[in-house]
Amino acid sequence: MHPAFSVIIFTTASGAGYGLLALTGFFAANGWLPADSAIIACAIGLALVLITGGLLCSTAHLGHPGRAWRAISQWRSSWLSREGLFALVTYIPAVLFFLGIVAPDMIGVNWKLCGLIAGVMSLITIYSTGKIYASLETIRQWRDGRVVPLYILIGLLGGSILIGFLAAVFGVFIQEFAWIILALAVVTGMLKMTYWRSIEDEPARSTSNTATGLGGPGEKVRLLDAPNTSENFVMREMGFRIARKHSTKLRQITLTTLFAIPLLLTLLASMVDGQALLIVLTLATVVSAGIGSVVERWLFFAEARHVVTLYYGAEAA
């Protein structure tokens, strides 16, 4: 699949935003974030900026962005519609959570409860995003039971790294933040490697034989002539291919920047005493994870093979 820049930014930014909002709600309710500190308000604000920016960026991939609202009407059958609906609904508890922190006397709400609801809705929204791709039977690499958990875990990893940086800035960094980042980095990295191994080792589910219904056992059906005289939309969007050597290199970059470097820097951050050094380490973790998230999501699309390519010369998908 062709990796559309708008979709990559949408999934990485909004994923980290929802992960940050979810963890902020859970940590605040658990007392790990002081209610009298501005860190909760800043975390919610940053999360909403990432979420809103990602959602707006996603409309750039649409032919008619002004009609994006119509997609919500198909929520009974479409995970894309459900994602949009859950994304909009999440704003309600998130805004109440924010107002309950910055203006508790003006807004008489239970901000801890609002934070928990916002956290749950954030996870449901990320789940819906992952299901958009995992529900597509036409793409073998996405029809995998690890796709949805990886979307959730990468979102939580990005959110935990962001909240660790904010905690360092506000001087409220605790060891629990470091352990959560470490656990998420290890678990997510291992799951991502098993996913890559799976899409490499699993045999193709569709071939030119099964697509056309031609050819017997042991025979290969090959394209005699291209169906188009020039490149069309299907060939550009569905027929994108990445060389194996580039795929291997980008996987290594992902493992290094998204998992290994954040893990190492977080270990160092858990052992230092000075706030200035802690801020530098956590900021470097944010930058490294941001780069890794973009590369990982680019690969997620680039390595996908749509079965429609079987009609344009591919022998298997």
CATH code, 15: 1.20.1630.10
Q: Which pLDDT score, from 0 to 100, does residue 297 have?
A: 96
In three-state secondary structure terms, 139 is strand
Q: Which pLDDT score, from 0 to 100, does residue 146 have?
A: 97
Per the document, the length of the chain is 317
Query: Is residue 184 within 8 Å of residue 160, measured between CB atoms?
Result: yes
Q: Which pLDDT score, from 0 to 100, does residue 205 have?
A: 75
DSSP 274: -
Q: Which pLDDT score, from 0 to 100, does residue 19 have?
A: 98
Q: Taking CA 163 as the corner, what is the angle to CA 81 and CA 111, rounded to the nearest 5 degrees? A: 70
Mean pLDDT in residue range 128-155: 94
Q: Could you give the count of Cα atoms lying within 13 Å of 259 in the half-sphere of its Cβ?
A: 20
- The model's pTM is 0.91
- The residues near 90 (Cβ < 8 Å, ≥ 6 apart) are 18, 21, 51, 118, 121, 122, 125
Which residue in this structure is represented by tokens 């916002």? Answer: 118
Residue 61 counted as domain residue: yes
Q: What is the dihedral of CA 208, 210, 213, 218, to 10 degrees?
A: 80
Average pLDDT, the chain: 89
Mean pLDDT in residue range 115-122: 97
Residue 317 counted as domain residue: no
- Of the ranges 202-211, 225-234, 295-304, the best mean pLDDT one: 295-304
Q: Which pLDDT score, from 0 to 100, does residue 153 have?
A: 98
- Quick one: which of 265, 256, 266, 253 has its CA closest to 298? 253
Q: Give Rg (Cα) of the chain.
A: 22
Q: Which pLDDT score, from 0 to 100, does residue 312 have?
A: 74
Query: Is residue 166 within 8 Å of residue 29, measured between CB atoms?
Result: no
Q: Which residues pair with 207 in a beta bridge?
A: 316
Q: Which pLDDT score, from 0 to 100, does residue 311 have?
A: 75
Q: Which residue has the higher pLDDT, 213 or 287?
A: 287
Mean pLDDT in residue range 119-148: 94
**Burial of 146 from C-beta contacts in 10 A (0-12 / 13-18 / 19+):** middle
Q: Which pLDDT score, from 0 to 100, does residue 229 have?
A: 67
Report the share of the chain in percent with pLDDT over 70: 92
Query: Distance (Å, rounded) from C-alpha 143 to C-alpha 317?
Result: 12
Query: Is residue 222 within 8 Å of residue 271, measured between CB atoms?
Result: no
Mean pLDDT in residue range 1-11: 85
Q: Which pLDDT score, from 0 to 100, does residue 188 have?
A: 98
Query: Distance (Å, rounded) from C-alpha 182 to C-alpha 177?
Result: 9
Q: Residue 183: is its pLDDT beyond 90?
A: yes
Q: Taking CA 115 as the corner, what is the angle to CA 112 and CA 120, rounded to the nearest 5 degrees? A: 130
Q: Residue 12: is its pLDDT beyond 90?
A: yes
Q: Which pLDDT score, from 0 to 100, does residue 100 have?
A: 92
Mean pLDDT in residue range 295-300: 96
State which H helix or E strand residue 184 sits in.
helix 175-201
Residue 101 counted as domain residue: yes
- Quick one: which of 151, 176, 114, 169 has its CA closest to 19? 151
Mean pLDDT in residue range 221-233: 71
Q: Which residue has the higher pLDDT, 212 or 279?
A: 279
Q: Residue 69: is its pLDDT beyond 70?
A: no
Q: Which pLDDT score, from 0 to 100, does residue 47 have?
A: 97
**Burial of 231 from C-beta contacts in 10 A (0-12 / 13-18 / 19+):** exposed
As for how many domains the chain has, the answer is 1
Residue 83 counted as domain residue: yes
Residue 12 counted as domain residue: yes
Q: Residue 233: is its pLDDT beyond 70?
A: no
pLDDT band, residue 65 (cuts 50/70/90): low
pLDDT band, residue 108 (cuts 50/70/90): confident
DSSP 203: P
Range(s) of the domain holding residue 35: 5-312
- Of the ranges 202-211, 258-267, 305-314, the best mean pLDDT one: 258-267
Query: Distance (Å, rounded) from C-alpha 91 to C-alpha 171?
Result: 28
Q: Which pLDDT score, from 0 to 100, does residue 258 have?
A: 97
